[in-house]
Amino acid sequence: MNILQMQQFQIIAKHESISHAADALFVTSSALSKTLKNIETEFNCLFFDRVGRKIYLNQNGTILLEYINNILTNYDNMLQYFAQNKNARSASIVLCDLGENILDKSLNTFSQKYPYIGIKKETVSFRAIIVKQSRYCFHRSLKHCSLPKRNA
């Protein structure tokens, strides 16, 4: 079932009439009937009780409609989020830990608060941290990058 089919199912359930739903959606009744048949075939289940030309949402239909409402709400929220954040850059952080696991609790709290920021934690030696920092400074061409001086 795709988003369009979910939206169509919602309207059919609202109107409890294929012809009224088709009018609301500006499609033909036969096309909408076919969509409903495809949905019922996909789930191997009937979602409406049919009485003459009238249809009534049954228990399965009510359950499906709840799922569809949740999915479409989340889908709309997702569209809205990305429309507002289309120029946002993804962020990631690389942290070096000396093996003491000091950062674990803070990182867990941070990750829960900012789940969209990726964190990669590496356990490395102090020497490796110095090498990483010097590479970073070199790549960024920082004029005032000061590294600790080694005692000879």
Per-residue pLDDT of the chain (152 residues; tens, 9 = 90+): 999 999 999 999 999 999 999 999 999 999 999 999 999 999 999 999 998 878 999 999 999 999 999 999 999 999 888 888 777 666 556 666 666 666 777 777 887 887 777 777 666 666 776 776 666 555 444 444 455 555 55
| Strand boundaries in 5-149, DSSP class E | 48-51, 54-57, 91-97, 117-123
Query: Structure pTM?
Result: 0.58
| Alpha carbons 102 and 87: distance in angstroms, whole number | 34
Buried b or exposed e, range 85-118, using 16+ CB within 10 angstroms: eeeeeeeeeeebeeeeeebeeebeeeeeeeeeee
Which domains occur in the chain, in start order? 3-84 (1.10.10.10), 91-140 (no CATH)
| Alpha carbons 90 and 82: distance in angstroms, whole number | 12
Coil, helix or strand for 48? strand
